[in-house]
A and B are shown apart, each in its own frame.
Chain A
Amino acid sequence: MISFRYKEKGTAIHKLNPFCKLVWVFSIFVLALIFNNPLYLLLLFLSTLPVIIAARVWREWASLMKFALYLCLVIIIINALVSYHGSSVLWQAPCSVPLMGTPVITLEAIFFGVGMSLRLLTIISAFAILTFTIHPDDIMLAMLKMKLPYKSVLVTSLSTRFIPTLIDDVERISDVQRSRGLELDRGKLMQRIKSRMAIIVPLLSNSLDRTVQVAEAMESRAFGSGEKRTFYKEVKLSKLDVPALIFGFLPLALGTFMRWWGQGDYRYYPALEKISLDGFECSMLALLLFLLCMMVSLAFLKKRIELD
């Protein structure tokens, strides 16, 4: 019924080292936040699509996008309502509203909203790759590799370990209580919440009993023996992972440079700027996109080589 959003699909992207993907997602995330220019944002968004397609998660991605589009709508509407900096007034409210002054809707504000929506779509699309193609265990290994404290990682991994167990518990307990005539969906809101407590309370008490046993089992297997511990599993970088990792970082470096150079900025207010790129800017942008797409190519190359 409920499972990880991650599904093993065995595609080149799934097989890629989690670090490469994490770095790549991080790069896109930062780039999407530092660029303002809608053209840049659109291209960034498009550059996530090959990965989505290569990982065969477009169905999951589409359902996520539905949710994202709703957020976009909110962003556009709110920007349109709150920003008075635009010059092309489309509509002006007949009277003033508390907090808002006299609302004005300007073309620029709407366009700003659209630009920001592209930013949001890019970020959500990039995170979709993280959610759908990296196993939670690998995320935790990566956290360890990044020197995050072990106990916090252990807590997280214990918790993911017990989620399926507790889900079974919930199903069983609700069977028990329903057999005793408990009707979960009868009555008003308060009644419905109250009736669910017959599930939550045994769940809570049972799980606390589990806690004692889990702790005992950990002690019995020498948990906390010394300051040091080793890790059997780790995120290993194979030969092709290293370039993939570099191609995750390069776009970030290049993008930051471009932004510092003044590229990718765009003025929405007071009037929309014309988007014009000179030859240098064009080639830089093309290079950026090329670097972003290298990860997919390397992923395929890696899979190909491993198969041979």
Chain B
Amino acid sequence: MRKSYLCLVLILVIGIAAFIIPLFPQSPLNSFINWGLTATALVILAIIAFFFEFEAAAISSKEIALVAMLGTISAVSRIPFAVIPNMQPCTYLIICSGYVFGPVAGFMVGAVTALVSNFFLGQGPWTPYQMFAWGLVGVSAAYTRRFKPDRIWLIIFGAIWGYLYGWIMNTWFWVSFIYPLTLRTFIVYQLNSIWFDTFHAIGNAIFLGLFGMKTIAILERFRKRFSWGIHDRADLPFNLTN
């Protein structure tokens, strides 16, 4: 069995258990169900599942170098923007990468961006969530390709991710430090970071609006150049396919 499926099964088991156990308040297990731990375990399993997916995909040195470099670019591109508060190009670069190079590469670029930039900014319990959130940005961007989005849709997509990213990041704090865990407290907790998320959304919208198409064009041009195929040519006596 592919190891990524193993992770998926584990995610399912833990997830279902997490929902069922509270239904039996008398069970001794109940005192052990810990939302902070469960959420982290699920997120880490999801990341590992993607790692195994990446391992299993037909990956050559080209893809590895590409994903590493895109992750590095998006981590490093934060530097010139450090002086502008709340404006970070990471999300937009991950969206463009996922859009052009597909879901698995998109996830990896997002995850690597988070993991590597935290070597410089500080690791914490937020690292897996960041990896997961940015990874999903890349994955989802890859799927928007099917709808051939124009500039406006890219902007909307980026803006939505500004908020979604915040949600994912807040989730761990919410489950670990807030009582009680109800929809109401969830919304209040999200409202707390609403300014921050709004800035993130605006930033994504600006970046994608101004440079989204150009960046995608650069990456597309590179993808075409990078996926050189070996062609047969009738007029040349030797070709590789035979």
Which chain B residues (66-102) contact chain A, with CB distance < 8 Å?
66-69, 71-73, 75-77, 79-81, 83-84, 87, 89
Cβ-closest chain B residue relative to A256:
B32
A160 contacts which chain B residues (CB < 8 A)?
A: 116, 119
The residue that B60 contacts in the complex, of A158, A197, A224, with Cβ under 8 A, is A224
B72 contacts which chain A residues (CB < 8 A)?
A: 158-159, 162-163, 166, 207
A149-B51, A193-B87, A205-B218 known; A120 and B177 CB under 8 Å?
yes
Q: Is A23 part of the contact surface with B, judged by Cβ < 8 Å?
A: no
How many whole Å from B106's CB to the nearest CB in chain A? 13
Cβ-closest chain A residue relative to B75:
A163
The answer on a CB contact under 8 Å between B218 and A156 is no
Count A interface residues, CB 8 Å: 83
How many whole Å from A291's CB to the nearest CB in chain B? 20
The residue that B189 contacts in the complex, of A33, A78, A130, A214, with Cβ under 8 A, is A78
Give CA–CA (A193, B84) in the complex, Å.
8
Give the A-B pair count, Cβ closer than 8 A: 215
Q: What are the interface flags for A20-34 relative to B under an 8 Å C-beta threshold, 1 for contact and 0 otherwise?
A: 000000000110011
Binds B, one of A81-89, A241-249, A280-288: A81-89
B207 contacts which chain A residues (CB < 8 A)?
A: 193
How many whole Å from B151's CB to the nearest CB in chain A? 16
The answer on a CB contact under 8 Å between B89 and A200 is yes
Interface SS majority for chain B:
helix
Give CA–CA (A163, B124) in the complex, Å.
20
Cβ-closest chain A residue relative to B108:
A155
Q: What are the interface flags for A198-223 relative to B under an 8 Å C-beta threshold, 1 for contact and 0 otherwise?
A: 01110111011011101100110001
Cβ-closest chain B residue relative to A117:
B177
Q: Is B231 part of the contact surface with A, judged by Cβ < 8 Å?
A: no
B119 contacts which chain A residues (CB < 8 A)?
A: 4-6, 131, 136, 160
Q: Is B194 part of the contact surface with A, judged by Cβ < 8 Å?
A: no
Which chain B residues (98-127) contact chain A, with CB distance < 8 Å?
108, 112, 115-116, 118-125
Give CA–CA (A110, B195) in the complex, Å.
24
The answer on a CB contact under 8 Å between A156 and B112 is yes
The residue that B61 contacts in the complex, of A85, A219, A260, with Cβ under 8 A, is A219
Which chain A residues (157-179) contact chain B, with CB distance < 8 Å?
158-160, 162-163, 166-167, 169-170, 174
Q: Is A2 part of the contact surface with B, judged by Cβ < 8 Å?
A: yes
The residue that B83 contacts in the complex, of A82, A170, A185, with Cβ under 8 A, is A185
The answer on a CB contact under 8 Å between B120 and A3 is yes
Count B interface residues, CB 8 Å: 69
B108 contacts which chain A residues (CB < 8 A)?
A: 152, 155
Q: Is B143 part of the contact surface with A, judged by Cβ < 8 Å?
A: no
A159-B112, A189-B84 known; A74 and B77 CB under 8 Å?
no
B148 contacts which chain A residues (CB < 8 A)?
A: none
Give CA–CA (A207, B76) in the complex, Å.
11
The answer on a CB contact under 8 Å between A5 and B120 is yes
Cβ-closest chain A residue relative to B183:
A99
Cβ-closest chain B residue relative to A213:
B65
The answer on a CB contact under 8 Å between B206 and A203 is no
Q: What are the interface flags for A78-102 relative to B under an 8 Å C-beta threshold, 1 for contact and 0 otherwise?
A: 1101110100000000000001100
Give CA–CA (A95, B87) in the complex, Å.
38
Q: Is B176 part of the contact surface with A, judged by Cβ < 8 Å?
A: yes
The residue in B48, B68, B192 that gathers the most chain A C-beta atoms within 10 A of its C-beta is: B68
The residue that A2 contacts in the complex, of B54, B61, B79, B180, with Cβ under 8 A, is B79
The answer on a CB contact under 8 Å between A5 and B121 is yes
The answer on a CB contact under 8 Å between A79 and B55 is no
B81 contacts which chain A residues (CB < 8 A)?
A: 193, 196
The residue that B37 contacts in the complex, of A34, A124, A127, A210, with Cβ under 8 A, is A34
Q: What are the interface flags for A217-253 relative to B under an 8 Å C-beta threshold, 1 for contact and 0 otherwise?
A: 0110001100000000000000000000000000000
B62 contacts which chain A residues (CB < 8 A)?
A: 211, 215
How many whole Å from B8's CB to the nearest CB in chain A? 15
The residue in B115, B118, B207 that gathers the most chain A C-beta atoms within 10 A of its C-beta is: B115
Of all A-B residue pairs in the complex, the 7 with the closest CB atoms, nearest first, are A149-B55, A158-B68, A218-B61, A152-B51, A116-B177, A215-B65, A214-B65
Given pairs A124-B124, A170-B77, A201-B218, 11 additional interface contacts (CB within 8 A) = A2-B79, A74-B192, A82-B178, A112-B179, A124-B125, A150-B55, A166-B76, A200-B89, A207-B69, A211-B69, A215-B61
List 13 A–B pairs whose Cβ atoms lie within 8 Å, in order of A's numbering: A4-B120, A82-B184, A82-B185, A82-B188, A124-B125, A127-B124, A131-B122, A149-B51, A154-B64, A155-B112, A158-B64, A170-B80, A211-B69
Binding site for B on A (CB under 8 A): 2-6, 29-30, 33-34, 64, 71, 74-75, 78-79, 81-83, 85, 99-100, 112, 116-117, 119-120, 123-124, 127-128, 130-131, 136, 148-152, 154-156, 158-160, 162-163, 166-167, 169-170, 174, 184-185, 189-190, 192-194, 196-197, 199-201, 203-205, 207-208, 210-212, 214-215, 218-219, 223-224, 259-260, 262, 265, 268-269
